[in-house]
Chain A
Amino acid sequence: MTDLTAQPKQRLFDPFEFLARYGTLIALALLIVFNLIFTRNFASMQTVNVNLTQVCTIVIVAVGMTLVIGTGGIDLSVGSLMAISGALAPMIFLGKILPIGNIYLAVAAAMIIAVLIAGIFGLFNGWLIARFRIQPIVATLVLFIAGRGIAQVMTNGNLQTFRVPEFQFIGLGRILGVPVQVILMAIIVIIAAWVLKRTVFGRQIIAIGGNERAAELSGIAVSKVKLIVYGISGLCAGIAGLIVIAINSSSDANLVGLGMELDAIAAVAVGGTLLSGGKATIIGTLLGAMTIQLVRYTLLSNGVPDAAALVVKAGIIVLAVWIQQQGRHA
Chain B
Amino acid sequence: MISHRDNNTQRIAALDERAEALKLKRGMGIADARAMHPSIDVVEADPEADRRLLEGLADWCDRYTPLVAIDAEDGLFLDVTGCTHLFGGERAMQDEILTRFFQQGFDVRAGLASTPGAAWAAARFHGDRIVTGGEEKALLSPLPLSALRIAPETRTGLESVGLRTAGAVMAAPRAPLARRFGTTLLLRLDQALGRLDEAVSPRLPVAPLSVERHLAEPVMLTDDIERLVNRLAIALKTDLERRGEGARTLALLLFRVDGAVSRIAVGTSRPMREPRLIQRLFHERLTALEQTIDAGFGFDLVRLSVLSVAAFDLVQGDLAGEADDDEADIALFADRVRARLGEAAVLKPVVVESHLPERAVKTVPFAEAPQRRAPAAGRATPRTAPPMTVYPPERPVRLFRSPEPIEVPATEIPEGPPMNFRWRRALYRVARAEGPERIAAEWWRQLPGEEEAPTRDYYRIEDSEGRRYWLYRQGLYGSAPQAATPRWFMHGVFA
Is B truly associated with A?
no
